Structure 1
Amino acid sequence: MHARVNIIFGERDRVEDGVARLEEADRAAVEAAAGNRGLVTMVDRAGGVIVAVSYWDESTHSSEAALTRARDIAAAAAGGDLVVEGYEVALREGAPVAAPGAAVRLTRVRVDPSRVPAALEFLRDALPRLRSCAGFAGGEVLVDRGAGVGLLVTVWAADGAAELAGAVLQRLREDGALRAGMAFPGTEAYVLVRARVPAATG
């Protein structure tokens, strides 16, 4: 399964227009498209950033002309620019369902492409640690094996739960650096708008 991560860097006073466009018109088009397995939308209102993660049976399905237009229109509604990233859904931990308003953390991951298998093996063993954290709703690992980059996505019942789990995530990052040569350039914080997600994989 594949994921297309659409990031809109918009204007703070227009971010709600972008979210509305995604939810009122574009969601229906995406979910009706051949090969679609789900759509998750999230927002950083203070930063004017919207993220829409769409899931697909094949990576090519998300590049249809109608969907490209939908992404461009949503970006225009938010008054911003669109960046699109493509990944494989490599791992999933926990129930990937959370209510609107849940806290989402996107942690960037980098590793030498030759060490991607070792990094995924480490994360497969390490992700279950998060189950013990109060408020953990689910997580997944998205990876571009050829480029050696990815995203560790974790979902929490509320911001407070995500903050309390910070120490566990920090230990995970430190262990990943030591055992698999992984680097973690940064973590982005979002609020979940709406999620329809596929069944667990990996």
Structure 2
Amino acid sequence: MYVRTLYATGDPAQLGAAVDTTASEGRDLVSEQPGFRGMGLFVDRELGKFLAATWWEDERSRDASDEVLRETRARQLAPFARTAAVDNWEAAVARPPRSVGPGAWFRLVRLEFDPAGTDVLAGIFRDMALPRLEALPGFEGASLLVDRAKGRAMVGVVWSDHDALAASRAGVAAIRGEATAQARVITRSIEEFEVVYAGVSPPS
């Protein structure tokens, strides 16, 4: 599958309206597009950060949907968004949750690596990191998204609640340290978000 992410920042006081519009009108619109498989919406209400991820059956569906949704996306984020970045990804390893909502939490790790090592990274995540993540209490789903051309990746893990997210930090740090050393990748950032909604259907 393929994924498009939208990462926006702005005034925390104006975040709620953008979230509400995206979770209702935006979610309805995107779900009508050919090839749509699911969506995740994550927020940091304290700092004013907004992350939306839409999942697509194939690369063509993802790219075609962007033409349809681009203007609507800008309107839904106004007046909240002061910065916005849209990125396209391949889901190299995908075990996203079927459906979780408020109360769940999400950790995002951004990585950089030699593009020639993309398949090595995917193999390490699939065969070593993911089984160990799945064994941790409160695990709901995880995915490795990659940009092969630019040597960038995002690892996203959904947890059942904030207590599970917090309790996982030490265990996940150990997994991350071992995986990044084996794959020779650099960790650029770690962020944690409240889940508004996250759900992805398996590819047909």
Match of 1:30, SS state, is helix
The alpha carbon displacement at 1:129 in A equals: 0.2
The corresponding residue for 1:188 is 191
Could you tell me which residue of structure 1 aligns to residue 32 of structure 2? 32
Amino acid at match of 2:148: R
Q: 2:19 and 2:99 mapped to 1: Cα distance? A: 19
Residue 9 (structure 1) aligned with residue 9 (structure 2): yes
SS at match of 2:187: coil
Shift of 1:81: 2.3
Distance 1:106 1:53 in 2: 12
TM-superposed deviation, 1:20: 1.2
> Where does residue 123 of structure 1 map in the other structure?
125
- Does the CA contact (< 8 Å) of 1:97 and 1:138 recur in 2? no
2:116 counterpart residue number: 114
1:199 alignment partner, SS class: coil
SS at match of 2:153: strand
Counterpart Cα distance in 1 of 2:84 and 2:201: 24
* Structure 2 counterpart of 1:154: 157
Tell me the CA shift for residue 199 of structure 1: 1.5
The structural deviation recorded for 1:61 is 2.4
Q: Which runs of 5+ in 1 are unaligned?
A: none
**Residue 85 of structure 1: how far off its partner (Å):** 1.0
1:83-102 superposed matches below 5 A: 83-93=85-95, 95-102=97-104
What corresponds to 1:45 in structure 2?
Answer: 45
Residue number among 157, 169, 174 corresponding to 2:172 in the alignment: 169
Unmatched 5+ stretches in structure 2: none
Q: CA deviation at 1:181?
A: 0.3
Aligned positions, number: 200
In structure 2, relative to structure 1, the CA distance for the partners of 1:29 and 1:140 (3 Å cut) is same
* Matched AA of 2:70: T
